[in-house]
Structure 1
Amino acid sequence: MKTILWATLTANGNYAQSSPEHPPKKEALTDFETYAKAAGNFIVGRKTFEGFQASGGGTFTDIDIVVVSKSLKEIPGIKIAGSPQEALNYLQEKGHKTVLLSGGADLHNAFLEQDLVDEILFNIVPVLEGKGLSLLLDTVNYQYKDIQLLDFKSLGSGVVQLHYAVGK
C-alpha cells in the first residue's frame, strides 16, 4: 500500500495556517479533493479534522475518512484510529491501495518518524508567514533523508506543487 503525505506550505517553508481572514487557496483545496477522490480515503489528525468540520468540510461522499486521535472516541461515519499504523491497517483491510495522509504537522511527523510515507506532495502557496509549524526531522530515521523529485507543476494563482518519492 502506498502512503502519500499531502501538505500545503508557505513560500518560506512553514505549514500554511488558514483562518477566516486567510482561507486556504482554492487551487490547493481542489487538488486535495482530486487526490482524496482518487485514493477513496484520507487520514487526518484531530485538530485538522475539527478545523475542517468548522469550515464546512468538503464533498467527500463515498470516501473513507480516518481521524488519528487518542482523545476522540466516536464521530458518526468516521473511523477513529489511535495510531498511524492502526489507520493504515484499517484502510488496507478496506481494500485501499493508496492512502492520502492529509493533515496536521504532528500527524505528518508521526508517520515520517515511523517510516510510513512513500511519497510527498508539497503545495507551495505564495504567502510568507512569520510563525508556523514545520516537519521535524530530528529522529533517528529522519535526521537527513534524500528524496527524489518525481514531478512539479503549477496549480494556478502562484501555487506550485512538488511531488517527491521517499526512499525507505
Structure 2
Amino acid sequence: MKTILWATLTANGNYAQSGPDNPPKTEALEDFSAKAKAAGNFIVGRKTFQEMTDPSRISQEEQGNTEGPFAGIDIVVLSKNMENIPGVTVVKSPQEAISYLQQKGHLTALISGGADIHNSFLEQELVNEVIFNVAPVLEGKGLNLLIDKDNYRFKAVRLLDCKPLGSDIIQLRYALE
C-alpha cells in the first residue's frame, strides 16, 4: 500500500500550528480535500479529528450539508483512548490503520493531521511519500517532523513535484528513498 503523509510546514521549517491567529489557508484545505477524495480515505489523530469536527470551526455552508465534506471517505482516527464514533473507524496504531484500509481495498493511505501521528508513521518507516505545504508564516516555538526522536539520522528523499497552491503556499512532494 502506498502511504502519503500530508502536512503543512512554516517557512522556517516547523510543523505549522493552526489556530485563530493562524488559520489554515483555503488552498491547502482544498488540496487536502482533493487528495482525500482521490485516496478515498485519510488517517488522522484524535485531537485533529476533534478540531475538524468542532461545530465552531465548520462553515455555515458545511453545517447545512448533511453529507459533509468527507462523505464516502473512510476516516480512520488513531487514538489509544477514544470511543467509537459512527461513520469513523478508531484504531490504536499506525499498523492497524494501514491494515484496516488495505482490508477495505484501498491502494493508497493519506496520513493527515497531527505531528504525533506523522512522527509515529515516519519513525516506523511506514511512509512512501510526503507532501509538504510550505505556509507563508514564520513561527516561534514549534513542533518538528522527526524520523527518529531518539537518534540523529537521515533519510534520503527525491523531489517528485513542486508547485504553488496560491496565497503564497508552495507544495513540495517527495518520495522517501
- Aligned with 1:102 (options 88, 112, 119): 112
Shift of the 94–103 alpha-carbon distance from structure 1 to 2, 3 Å rule, reads: same
Query: For residue 34 of structure 1, what is the aligned residue in structure 2?
Result: 34
Q: Could you tell me how far 1:163 is from its partner in structure 2?
A: 0.3
User: 8 Å contact 2:5–2:112 — kept in the other structure?
Assistant: yes
Query: For residue 154 of structure 1, what is the aligned residue in structure 2?
Result: 164
Q: Report the AA paired with residue 161 of structure 1.
A: Q
Query: For residue 134 of structure 1, what is the aligned residue in structure 2?
Result: 144
- Residue 19 of structure 1 aligns to a residue in which SS? coil
Shift of the 140–14 alpha-carbon distance from structure 1 to 2, 3 Å rule, reads: closer
CA distance in 2, matches of 1:116, 1:145: 13
Q: Which runs of 5+ in 1 are unaligned?
A: none
Q: Could you tell me how far 1:138 is from its partner in structure 2?
A: 3.0
Which moved further from structure 2: 78-87 or 53-62? 53-62
Identity %: 64
Q: Report the AA paired with residue 34 of structure 1.
A: A
Q: Report the AA paired with residue 109 of structure 2.
A: V
TM-score, reference length from structure 2:
0.90
1:2 aligns with 2:2: yes
Q: Which runs of 5+ in 2 are unaligned?
A: 63-67
Shift of the 141–131 alpha-carbon distance from structure 1 to 2, 3 Å rule, reads: closer
Query: For residue 134 of structure 2, what is the aligned residue in structure 1?
Result: 124
Give the count of matched residue pairs. 167
Q: Could you tell me how far 1:131 is from its partner in structure 2?
A: 1.8
1:143 aligns with 2:153: yes
TM-score, reference length from structure 1:
0.94
CA RMSD of aligned residues (A): 1.6
User: 8 Å contact 2:115–2:143 — kept in the other structure?
Assistant: yes
Which moved further from structure 2: 79-88 or 52-61? 52-61
